[in-house]
Amino acid sequence: MSALMKEAPRLVRTQPLMELSGLSKTYGNVRALDDVSARVYPGEVLGIVGESGSGKSTLLRMMNLEESPDAGRYRLDLPELPEDLFTLDRFERRMLRARRIGIVYQNPHLGLLMKHSSSGNVAERLLVAGERRFAVLREKAQVALEASEFPIPRMDAPPIELSGGMQQRVQLAKAIALEPAVLLLDEPTTGLDVSVQALVLDTLKRLQQERRITMVLVSHDLGVIRTMADRVMVMRHGRVVEEGLADQVFQDPQHAYTQQLVHAKL
């Protein structure tokens, strides 16, 4: 079986790990999110797909607590957290992000200090979470880089000197260094060469299978979503128009917009 082929969906139907409800967000006169709700179950990969401007990245930024909605609530099923994470202040959000939420952006400049060493970028995440011992920081950074299949001899090179694929692996190492409860991926392979894209997806898939990391993957690329996701949410104009098991949505799309997306891809 090719490494990129999917296993049977992992239908874990326990309590959702992540639950967002009734999210709305308006920028000027653009309604980026319009009453969006989403649930993510432990160990699954939720794919969010939709055309440019449909609200995917806005939703992911909310999941990462980078922004607050005009309305809506956000719950993570982890100990000692409030019922609505949007009530947390800036500092509390930062700590929660550092310890429990990992993110990989399409644009590495958003996730990395491009002129600092790659190992330092990963170590910084560990520092924010309280680790101060230099040897431990370095060792843990190396372990995370290895898990991301980053070439270790280059771990002290700054991302600015690395290829796009390697930069994404540094972001990934930083994101998983503390074994987050959820890993958010915003178009993690968009802009990479197709062959590099396949290798990075392979790494994500392996990590997912070995560690059962709960993931939310945003992509406009149906191929990427199909490769990775157990469940899919289709967004359009800031709303969720369809959601379901990935195989179901791809084989038998119900909404006209999803049909259009799927058929355009075939």
Ligand X SMILES: Nc1ncnc2c1ncn2[C@@H]1O[C@H](COP(=O)(O)OP(=O)(O)OP(=O)(O)O)[C@@H](O)[C@H]1O
Using CB under 6 A as the binding rule, whether residue 110 contacts ligand X is answered as no
Q: Which helix (H) or strand (E) holds 28?
A: none
Using CB under 6 A as the binding rule, whether residue 30 contacts ligand X is answered as yes
Q: Which is nearer to ligand X, 58 or 148 (CB)?
A: 58
- For ligand X, how many residues bind (rule: CB under 6 A)? 12
Q: Are strands 18-27 and 30-40 parallel, antiparallel or unpaired?
A: antiparallel
Using CB under 6 A as the binding rule, whether residue 54 contacts ligand X is answered as yes
Q: Which is nearer to ligand X, 30 or 152 (CB)?
A: 30
Contact with ligand X (CB under 6 A) among 23, 32, 207, 246:
32
Q: Which is nearer to ligand X, 48 or 249 (CB)?
A: 48
SS (H, E, C) 58-118: HHHHHHCCCCCCCEEEEEECCCCCCCCHHHCCHHHHHHHHHHHEEEECCCHHHHCCCCCCH
The least CB distance from residue 220 to ligand X, in Å, is 5
Contact with ligand X (CB under 6 A) among 18, 36, 45, 55:
55
Using CB under 6 A as the binding rule, whether residue 56 contacts ligand X is answered as yes
Using CB under 6 A as the binding rule, whether residue 118 contacts ligand X is answered as no
CB-based burial label for 38 (10 Å; 0-12, 13-18, 19+): buried
Contacts of 66 (CB under 8 A, 6+ apart): none
Using CB under 6 A as the binding rule, whether residue 50 contacts ligand X is answered as yes
Q: Which is nearer to ligand X, 108 or 158 (CB)?
A: 108
Q: Interaction with ligand X in 208-237: which residues (CB under 6 A)?
A: 220
Using CB under 6 A as the binding rule, whether residue 34 contacts ligand X is answered as no
Closest by CA position to 18, among listed 56, 66, 62: 62
Using CB under 6 A as the binding rule, whether residue 52 contacts ligand X is answered as yes
Contact with ligand X (CB under 6 A) among 57, 117, 248, 254:
57
Residue-by-residue DSSP string for 173-237: HHHHTT--SEEEEESTTTTS-HHHHHHHHHHHHHHHHHH--EEEEEES-HHHHHHH-SEEEEEET
Q: Which is nearer to ligand X, 55 or 253 (CB)?
A: 55
Q: Are strands 71-76 and 18-27 parallel, antiparallel or unpaired?
A: antiparallel
**Residue with tokens 């993690």, as numbered in its chain:** 188
Stretch that binds ligand X, among 3-11, 26-34, 139-147, 149-157 (CB under 6 A): 26-34
- Token pair for residue 73? 């609530």
Q: Residue 95's CB: how many other CB atoms inside 10 A?
A: 14
Contact with ligand X (CB under 6 A) among 11, 27, 146, 151:
27
The least CB distance from residue 243 to ligand X, in Å, is 15
Q: Which is nearer to ligand X, 124 or 187 (CB)?
A: 187
Q: What residue ranges bind ligand X (CB under 6 A)?
A: 27, 30, 32, 50, 52-58, 220
